[in-house]
């Protein structure tokens, strides 16, 4: 008689525990920004081709980065149709010549699309599910105006979830002027003039330009050309020259083409990596991500979104606004920036704010702008080793804000990754 014996149950295998890793910003580039109109730089150039050029430039600048080591490509667009549709992260990766093993996806958080591509893939790096990612965004507003062909649910208005005009970003800027009457049109105009002047100075000093990738362009009428410079800045802007411009969003309003960002075409992209992987491959570390946050506000005052987002990001980092030495704030509208500065007691002309000017001068290709802010902050960190922390922040359509806090690796007390074993 054979006695049956029980097979011992297998010992449960404990899952691998991951530690949070440093996420570092390796490189950021962008196309020159063009006017979103029929005679603009990119009127006859595809949006996805703009993004392909950015990805190829990132790889060209870093031959030490094996393309097969890229774990994810996340590309944002606000209007995901036509040449901005079809899962941009994957299609752009294939078109750019990345190995077919490299996956990709698309993101939409309106103006904060590229910022969200960065924070989303950074989370994967931090938790060990990715080592290196490419994140960016593109917007061809000449072909795809914001909200074009969108079928907005009528319940937003019928159930009074938002004001009927809250879907018009210019109206929300006028609402900020109403909410904060001391933020006058004169202050907004003065801020806008200063933005143009700072951009012109940065361009002359060579602070704007190193991040640009030339783009071959074609016109059926003019033939082939090369886009090498931003098309939108108006360096001769004066307060007198813009004070009487039309107020398209409200009769007798305060928001004009002079104190708002222009409609823009362009693309941006960056490489992110784990700190130890950057060291392994010899990749430069331009800054380290400290924290990030997104927050919602009433859609009617969309431009105030950066304030609660910044409060959250500061709380996550254990910092205060006094710890921040450089601010890159997206200038969708001058009053939106002023509401942020006013909330924190920062002067309108504080030199820490947008040292190279901002979107009022250079343009705002919606989903791509977040990485432009980061690329500029990284360069400013190199110039200011005395500054330890900086932020990139922006308002987001439909009542949101996004903020990312970064640490300067050139600062004497930099706390980021310094060795292969992860010790700080």
**pLDDT tens sequence across 103-155:** 999 999 999 999 999 999 999 999 999 999 999 999 999 999 887 778 888 88
Q: What is the pLDDT of residues 309-345, one digit of tens each?
A: 999 999 999 999 999 999 999 999 999 999 999 999 9
pLDDT for res 374: 98
Percent of residues, the chain, with pLDDT higher than 70: 95
Task: Give the residue among 330, 322, 370, 328 at the shortest CA–CA distance from 346.
Answer: 322
Domain annotation for the chain: domains and CATH numbers: 23-142+164-406 (3.40.47.10)
The pLDDT of residue 149: 77
DSSP three-state, residue 210:
coil
Residue 153: the pLDDT is: 86
Per-residue pLDDT at 364: 98
State the average pLDDT for the chain. Answer: 94
Q: What is the pLDDT of residues 188-214, one digit of tens each?
A: 999 999 999 999 999 999 999 999 999
Terminal-to-terminal C-alpha distance of the chain: 66
Tell me how far apart the 2 most distant CA atoms of the chain are, in Å: 107
Indicate which residues carry an active-site annotation: 111, 364, 395
Q: Are strands 23-30 and 287-296 parallel, antiparallel or unpaired?
A: antiparallel
Q: Residue 7's pLDDT is what?
A: 64
Q: Mean pLDDT throughout 40-61?
A: 97
**Rounded CA separation 313/321 (Å):** 10
- Upper half-sphere CA count for residue 65 (Cβ side, 13 Å): 28
* pLDDT of res. 343: 98
**Could you tell me the CA-to-CA distances from 94 to 88, 100, 132, 256 in Å, in that order?**
10, 7, 17, 41
DSSP secondary structure of 215-282: EEEEETTTEEEEE-S-S---TT--HHHHTT---TTSTT-S--TTSBPPPEEEEEEEEEEEHHHHHHHT
When pLDDT is cut at 50, 70 and 90, the band that residue 49 belongs to is very high
**Sign of the torsion angle spanned by Cα atoms 339, 341, 347, 350:** negative
pLDDT band at 165 (very low <50, low <70, confident <90, very high): confident
Dist CA 136 CA 396 (whole Å): 16
Compare 208 and 424 and report the one with higher pLDDT: 208
User: CA-to-CA distance for 362 and 199, rounded, in angstroms?
Assistant: 8
Distance CA 253, CA 354 (A): 26
CB 139, CB 264: distance < 8 Å: yes
Q: How confident is the model at residue 239 (pLDDT cuts 50, 70, 90)?
A: very high
């Amino acid at each position: 008689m054979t006695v049956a014996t029980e097979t011992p149950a297998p010992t449960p295998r404990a899952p691998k525990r991951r530690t949070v890793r440093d996420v570092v910003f390796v490189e950021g580039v962008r196309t020159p920004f063009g006017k979103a109109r029929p005679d603009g730089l990119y009127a006859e150039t595809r949006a996805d081709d703009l993004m392909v050029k950015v990805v190829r430039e990132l790889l060209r600048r870093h031959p030490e980065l094996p393309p097969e080591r890229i774990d994810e490509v996340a590309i944002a667009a606000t209007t995901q149709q036509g040449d901005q549709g079809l899962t941009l992260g994957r299609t752009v990766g294939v078109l750019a010549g990345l190995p077919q093993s490299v996956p990709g996806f698309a993101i939409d958080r309106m103006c904060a699309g590229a910022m969200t591509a960065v924070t989303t893939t950074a989370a994967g790096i931090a938790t060990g599910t990715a080592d290196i990612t490419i994140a960016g965004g593109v917007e061809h507003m000449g072909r795809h105006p914001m909200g074009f062909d969108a079928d907005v649910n009528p319940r937003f208005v019928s159930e009074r979830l938002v004001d009927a005009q809250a879907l018009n970003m210019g109206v929300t800027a006028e609402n900020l002027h109403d909410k904060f009457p001391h933020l006058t049109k004169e202050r907004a105009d003065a801020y806008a003039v200063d933005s143009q002047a700072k951009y012109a100075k940065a361009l002359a000093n060579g602070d704007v330009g190193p991040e640009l990738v030339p783009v071959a362009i074609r016109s059926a009428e003019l033939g082939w050309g090369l886009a090498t410079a931003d098309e939108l800045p108006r360096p001769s802007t004066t307060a007198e020259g813009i004070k009487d411009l039309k107020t398209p969003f409200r009769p007798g309003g305060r928001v004009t083409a002079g104190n708002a960002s222009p409609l823009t075409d362009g693309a941006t992209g960056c490489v992110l990596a784990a700190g130890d992987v950057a060291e392994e491959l010899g990749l430069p570390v331009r800054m380290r991500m400290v924290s990030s946050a997104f927050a919602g506000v009433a859609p009617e005052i969309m431009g105030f979104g950066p304030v609660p987002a910044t409060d959250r990001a500061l709380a996550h980092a254990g910092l205060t606004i006094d710890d921040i030495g450089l601010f890159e704030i997206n200038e969708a509208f001058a009053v939106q920036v002023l509401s942020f500065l006013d909330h924190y007691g920062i002067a309108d002309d504080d030199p820490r704010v947008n040292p190279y000017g901002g979107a009022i001068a250079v343009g705002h290709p919606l989903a791509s702008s977040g990485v432009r802010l980061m690329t500029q902050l990284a360069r400013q960190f190199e110039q200011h080793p005395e500054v330890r922390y900086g932020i990139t922040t922006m308002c987001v359509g439909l009542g949101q804000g996004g903020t990312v806090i970064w640490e300067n690796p050139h600062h004497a007390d930099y706390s980021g990754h310094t060795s292969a074993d992860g010790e700080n």
